[in-house]
Amino acid sequence: MYSKTFSIENYFMHIPEYVLDEGRELLNSSALNSASKDVKGLWLLRWKGEPDCETEVFVGRKNVKAYSCDCSIFQERKMCCHVSAAIHHIHETIEKEKLVRKK
């Protein structure tokens, strides 16, 4: 996994804008096949596509700590639309959980 720590709240400051847009498009196109989280905060997201790929994101209490994706773009640039989409999804999920807890 590629280690990079940044606040999940400010993730949009740490990912290039065009990659954020690509990630948003990917989510909107319902390419997300499944998403799960283990007890340690390791998220696993599977994407439909050609080829299918898998993204892992390790999230601590407040920070993204590390991530990886098995697509070729990630191997080259250490960032890709899947990681961006994964972090969008994780951030939304965390925000929703916060709202539920407040009620």
The secondary structure of the chain in percent helix, strand, coil, rounded to multiples of 5, reads: 45, 30, 25
Taking the complex as a whole, how short is the minimal distance between the CB of residue 72 and Zn ion, in angstroms?
8
Residue 100 beta carbon to Zn ion: minimum distance, rounded to whole angstroms: 30
Residues that bind Zn ion (CB under 5 A): 69, 71, 74, 80, 82
Place of tokens 């920070």: 63
Which residue number, 8 or 67, has a Cβ lying nearer to Zn ion? Answer: 67
Smallest gap, in angstroms, from Cβ of residue 49 to Zn ion?
9
Alpha helices in 1-103 (DSSP H): 17-28, 72-77, 81-102
Task: Choose between 33 and 62: whose C-beta lies nearer to Zn ion.
Answer: 33
76 vs 98, beta carbon nearer Zn ion: 76
Pairing of strands 53-59, 42-47: antiparallel
